[in-house]
Structure 1
Amino acid sequence: MTDNDLVPAALHPQVQAYLDRIAKAGFGALHTFTPEQARLGLQRQIPLLAEPERVEAVRDTEIPSRRGPLRIRIYTPLGTEPGRLPVTMFFHGGGFVLGSLDTHDGLCRSIANGAGTLVVSVDYPLAPEHRFPAAPEACFAATRWAAEHAAEIGGDASRMAVAGDSAGGNLAAVVTHLVRERGGPDLVFQLLIYPDVDFRRTSWSIREFAGVYGNITRAAQDWFMDFYVRDGEDKLNPLVSPLLASDFAGLPSALVITAEFDALRDEGEAYAARLADAGVSVAAIRYPGMIHEFLRHRFDESERARQDAAAALRAAFSR
């Protein structure tokens, strides 16, 4: 689909009810908060998310990186047979400023169980304390560490994927470019969930949906971006805006998930198109009536999207 070929019909009733509840809460404008205040607010929203699934095991640990110890959380799926499992690196969303291992715990559990994969969730350094390129470098380092130490954590380095939502989708996409340019590790798949891949902020869905349907305002978009990048030139760097990369050839196959009422919808679909044009096997699924971050919520379409994501990962791991 092109960026403006369809006028959205209607929000899903479950989404509308959720947005109504949020509106009644009377939250202030995001860009008026400090990062610390916004992070606390996001943590407090965890009980509103989908009920976390039980998994076989969850282990928090630290791994070395050039910037010091890096926290990761390793999920082992429920009911797995002894042996080495595929490995999915997961990078959480939050605009590069917010989010944590805890805010995306439920989604990681769902991916682990659904796809029968170890999930390694990365607590990458957040802005503005750590501006670009700290986050992508940490995610790359964690991916390389997981490949080198796969056997120690019960994983199979020949079956590795990257995944992430929103800013985490950006980081997952960027890691695929980095591993190609830096000689590995090899990745078999990328799961990009409403990825943030174009800091120019010029798409039709950005213009039409910013500040409505649960999307952040243009002021809040600038709040996030200005904390993350060092200057305006960074916005055009392909490691910040991977949609602007010159070469998509040889990247791993992909599933790109978008939501009908998400301001990031069009850039995610444009990214899928760039992959397809380069000969990469890619599926792009737009979920009707849905909004940004819908996979983390209790909506019926969220369950369908999680199942689609799990099926795509399983298929990639079985090739």
Structure 2
Amino acid sequence: MDFADLVDPELRESLFRVPPGLDPAEDLEGTRRRMLERAPFAGSADQQARVQRTDLTIPGPPDNADGVRVRVYEPRERAAEALPGLLWVHGGGFCGGAVDQDDGLCTSIVDEIGAVIVSVDYRLAPEHPFPAGPEDCYAALRWLFDTAHERGVTRSRIGVAGYSSGAGFAAALALMARDRGECELAFQVLLCPLLDVPHRASSRAIVDPRVRNQPTTDSSWRLYLGDAYDAPPAYAAPARAADLSGLPPAYLAVSQFDVNCEEDIEYARRLLGAGVATELHVFPRGFHGFELLVPDAQISRDAVADRTRALRRALHPSGE
């Protein structure tokens, strides 16, 4: 049976319109270019007008003298009370992506939910392998906590979120924040997170070149981890963490035919077993990034609505 026959009918046609994915180990620049060429969600003109964006360079970790570029999103008009804060980490398979690709997404979250978002333009592999990316993101998280008062952010309502490899970074940040004791996170929102190298047989079953699959994901992990590929530390592959207790409440969303579906389900199970309030949503017959590729499909609208609800509840727990 062709892979296309397995997916949601509204997503099926898209598989015949997109070119096969590139292997970053064979064509890194082509992979990066294709990621940025994909039409990003822009948000409405009204949303763009209501949200202010500011690009800043903040102090980075010790090995990054150039600092870390971040983009801060906040409502242009806001009441006197402080808003919740969200550190957002873009996806891109560890080797690509940029803050620009999620500009519309961050804008819509700020406008629809009400928050201050800091999106991180972290260093990319393979030029900057682990731990460069997570450490850049952690520097941005510390900066958000340190400047919360002047930015009008409530320190007790700061969380992390991301998509794909960015969600893997967000999960790592939750571990880092717990272990280092410098930033007390209120929540983590992990959207189809890459949490472990794809060693499992269930992951290898996704091989269709039209979607994120085991071979290209494996290449991305190898470029990101280098010599640590065979035994990655938990801050690189959060699923390897022995202890998940003490982490903030979590929301995980993944698709049935996502290369990392089994790993994400197992991570959610382990979070629950460690006493972490956790919500897991598996979208049947979807594949990695389906809601970005086919935004008008009903399953995509459901995924976005579910994500929005989870973020609203996390950012405004009392319903204000």
Same fold (TM over 0.5): yes
What is the correspondence of 1:145-294 to structure 2 with a 5 Å cutoff? 145-204=143-202, 206-211=203-208, 214-218=211-215, 220-232=216-228, 235-294=231-290
Greater Cα shift, 308-317 or 175-184: 308-317
Q: Which amino acid aligns with 1:294?
A: F
Q: Which amino acid aligns with 2:58?
A: I
Contact 2:188 2:248 in 1 (8 A): yes
Contact 2:20 2:211 in 1 (8 A): no
1:311: how far off?
1.9
Q: How far, CA to CA, are the matches of 1:234 and 1:83 in structure 2? A: 48
Q: Which residue does 1:81 correspond to in 2?
A: 79
Match 2:37 to one of 40, 44, 48: 44
> Structure 2 stretches of 5 or more lacking a match?
none
Q: How far, CA to CA, are the matches of 1:28 and 1:145 in structure 2? A: 36
Alpha-carbon spacing, 1:187–1:295, altered in 2? closer, same or farther (3 Å):
farther
1:106: how far off?
2.4
Contact 2:198 2:214 in 1 (8 A): no
Contact 1:199 1:240 in 2 (8 A): no
Equivalent residue of 1:236, what SS?
coil
What is the correspondence of 1:137-148 to structure 2 with a 5 Å cutoff? 137-148=135-146
Q: Which amino acid aligns with 1:40?
A: R
1:228: how far off?
0.7
Equivalent residue of 1:289, what SS?
strand
Q: Which amino acid aligns with 1:30?
A: D
Equivalent residue of 1:157, what SS?
strand
Q: How far, CA to CA, are the matches of 1:189 and 1:28 in structure 2? A: 33
1:301: how far off?
2.4
Q: Are 2:314 and 1:316 aligned? A: yes
Q: Which residue does 2:57 correspond to in 1?
A: 62
Q: Are 2:101 and 1:103 aligned? A: yes
Q: Which amino acid aligns with 2:184?
A: D
Q: Which amino acid aligns with 1:293?
A: G
1:113: how far off?
2.9
1:40: how far off?
1.3
Q: Which residue does 1:4 correspond to in 2?
A: none
Equivalent residue of 1:104, what SS?
helix
1:151: how far off?
2.2
1:303: how far off?
2.7
Q: Which amino acid aligns with 1:52?
A: G
Contact 2:116 2:153 in 1 (8 A): yes
Alpha-carbon spacing, 1:274–1:280, altered in 2? closer, same or farther (3 Å):
same
| Identity within the alignment, % | 33
Q: Which amino acid aligns with 1:108?
A: C
Equivalent residue of 1:137, what SS?
helix
Equivalent residue of 1:209, what SS?
coil
Equivalent residue of 1:280, what SS?
coil
Equivalent residue of 1:290, what SS?
strand
Q: Which amino acid aligns with 2:208?
A: G
Greater Cα shift, 11-20 or 94-103: 11-20
Q: Which amino acid aligns with 2:238?
A: P
Q: Which amino acid aligns with 1:197?
A: L
Alpha-carbon spacing, 1:95–1:235, altered in 2? closer, same or farther (3 Å):
farther
Q: How far, CA to CA, are the matches of 1:120 and 1:235 in structure 2? A: 31
1:143: how far off?
0.4
Q: How far, CA to CA, are the matches of 2:77 and 2:9 in structure 1? A: 35
Aligned length: 306
Alpha-carbon spacing, 1:143–1:32, altered in 2? closer, same or farther (3 Å):
closer
Alpha-carbon spacing, 1:183–1:203, altered in 2? closer, same or farther (3 Å):
farther
Q: Which amino acid aligns with 2:278?
A: V
CA RMSD of aligned residues (A): 2.3
1:19: how far off?
1.3
1:248: how far off?
0.7
Q: Which amino acid aligns with 1:145?
A: W
1:190: how far off?
0.3
Equivalent residue of 1:229, what SS?
helix
Greater Cα shift, 117-126 or 54-63: 54-63
Q: Normalised by the size of structure 2, how large is the TM-score?
A: 0.88
Q: Which amino acid aligns with 1:34?
A: D
Alpha-carbon spacing, 1:239–1:120, altered in 2? closer, same or farther (3 Å):
same
Q: Which amino acid aligns with 1:148?
A: D
Contact 1:177 1:251 in 2 (8 A): yes
Q: Normalised by the size of structure 1, how large is the TM-score?
A: 0.88
1:107: how far off?
2.2
1:199: how far off?
1.2
